[in-house]
Structure 1
């Protein structure tokens, strides 16, 4: 099955660890199995500033860098524990359980989706705390 991706001028994509930047509007047809992240899915280490964001970053690295899996697994576990200590509510528990299942089966790309849910919940909780403090 072919994966088709359209990139805007200057948009980045990571394919099997290689960073590719579109020069002009670019359409890609990928015909083999690859690890791929579009620019909006890529997080820099400096952006991993909260437990949920750190979980996303380390999961992304496990997806992109299979040679460093043992190092990434340790970081994922530490970040997941931190998220668990801070997260409350049924939605967060479900997202953490689904994340753990996907990460345990090395389905890191889909685990990133659960991280995005956790990042949204974390952001909402931080906004609530800031609002209460004001």
Structure 2
């Protein structure tokens, strides 16, 4: 896998943080866990339940030393969300995210959680019907994310 970083951009690889002082392309020659800086959520940005869930999943990827603890927190948060949300589309997608994480595909789970941010905003603002998903041509699935 080849990734390109801009000057000043960071990438998190297997718990290490790498920073580029100029534009650089990196070729990852073996299986690694990485997350680009643009997809890293800072603790002060965890302002909604889904952002908190994302943060816990993100920790599983970027800090392997506490992956188990982050997984426990993720499962607890996910259980609370499943018990709290009534929107059927949100519940369906959260169950899919749980399955994705159980299959150790955390990066895909992060993408799936990000896709749900607009639906969460609608629900939290009271604009979403609690039992019907918003109309969309694409399902909120990782395989539908470009």
- Within the candidate set 88, 93, 96, 1:95 is matched to 93
Per the alignment, in what secondary structure is the counterpart of residue 47 of structure 2?
coil
TM-score for the superposition, normalised by structure 1: 0.83
- Between structures 1 and 2, the one with greater helix share: 1
Work out the number of aligned pairs and report it: 127
1:21 equivalent to 2:19? Answer yes
Per the alignment, in what secondary structure is the counterpart of residue 121 of structure 1?
helix
8 Å contact from structure 2 (residues 14, 61) kept in 1:
no
Unpaired runs of 5+ in structure 1?
130-134
Unpaired runs of 5+ in structure 2?
128-146
Moved more, 3-12 or 81-90: 81-90
- Cα gap change, 1:77/1:28 in structure 2, threshold over 3 Å: closer, same or farther? same
